Amino acid sequence: MLVGAGNTRRGLAHVALLTAVLTGCAEASDEAPSASTSASATADAAGGSEKAAESGGTIGTSGSACELPVTFDIAAKWKAKSIDAKSAGDGSDLADEIADALLHQGPVTAACEVDAKPAGHIGFLRVWTGKPGKDDARTVLEAFVKAEDNTSKPKYTTFRSGGLDGVEVEYLFTSKLLEETKKERALAVTTASGPVVLHLGGLDSEEHEDMLPAFELAKQTLRTA
C-alpha cells in the first residue's frame, strides 16, 4: 500500500539521519577548513603534556545547550546540541531498533554531541550518561569500549580534574565496512547522578589528532554540575 511505503521511506530516512548524526562521517565543506586555535594550558595532574584548545564557553549547566551531571568547556567554534534518546525513533520497529543501537553503548546513553565542523574538523565530542550504580569509572569505561566492538590496544590512565577522579583510554577502532583503523579516545567519571563518558572520534586518525586539544580542554575543565 502507498501508506505503508510512505511510512517505510520516512522510517528509513529517519534512520539515515540518526546514522549521520552519530557517525561523524559528514562530507567536508568546499571551503578549506580553518586551523583551530590552541591556548597553552598546563597539563593536568595526571601528567599529560597535551595543550588545551581555546575555550568557546561552558556546557552542562542549567540553561546551556546540554544540561548534564558535569560541566566543562568546549573549544571555540564547536557547537553543542542535546540528544533526546527517548524520542529518537519514529515508532517503526526498524528505526527504533537502530536508534537504540546507536544511542546506547554499554552502560551509558548518548546525551549531547559537540560538533567540530564549525571549527574546520570532521568529528564530534560526544557525552554519554548513565544511571547511578556501584560501578567505578574504570569499569564503566571498559564496558563502553567493549560495547563498541572491533576495538584494540586500549591504554588506560587515571586523572583528576575539578575534584573528580577519572579514567581515560586511548584505543584503536577498526571499521569492517571501510577496512580502516583509526584512533579514538574516551574518559569516564562517576557522579551522584550517574556515570559520564566523554568520547572523541573523528573521520580518521589525522582528524582525531587535530581535535585532541578540544578533548584536553574538556578534561581539564571538568567539574560536577
Q: Is 220 helix (H, G, I), strand (E, B) or coil?
A: helix
Cβ contacts of 195 within 8 Å, gap of 6 or more: 107, 108, 129, 130, 133, 135, 137, 140, 188, 189
For helices 2-23 and 93-103, give the axis angle rounded to 10 degrees.
Answer: 10
Q: For the whole model, what pTM was predicted?
A: 0.78
pLDDT of residue 213: 98
Give the closest residue to 220 by CA, choosing from 156, 155, 168: 168
pLDDT of residue 178: 82
pLDDT of residue 36: 33
**What is the mean pLDDT for each group of 10 consecutive residues in the chain (225 residues)?**
34 38 38 33 43 96 97 98 77 68 92 97 98 97 96 97 97 91 98 98 96 98 97
pLDDT of residue 91: 56
Is the separation of the CB atoms in 190 and 69 below 8 Å? no
Q: Parse the chain into domains and list their residue ranges.
A: 2-224
pLDDT of residue 185: 98
How many Å is the maximal CA-CA distance in the chain? 63
Cβ contacts of 83 within 8 Å, gap of 6 or more: 21, 103, 110, 111, 112, 113
pLDDT of residue 93: 63
| Integer Cα distance of 83 and 26 in angstroms | 18
| Integer Cα distance of 17 and 11 in angstroms | 10
Own/partner pairs for 61-67, CB < 8 Å, 24+ apart? 61/225, 62/225, 65/112, 66/111, 66/112, 66/127, 67/225
Q: Give the CATH class of 2-224.
A: alpha beta
36-79: pLDDT as tens digits: 333 333 333 334 457 999 999 999 999 999 999 999 999 999 99
Give the closest residue to 77 by CA, choosing from 100, 57, 106: 57
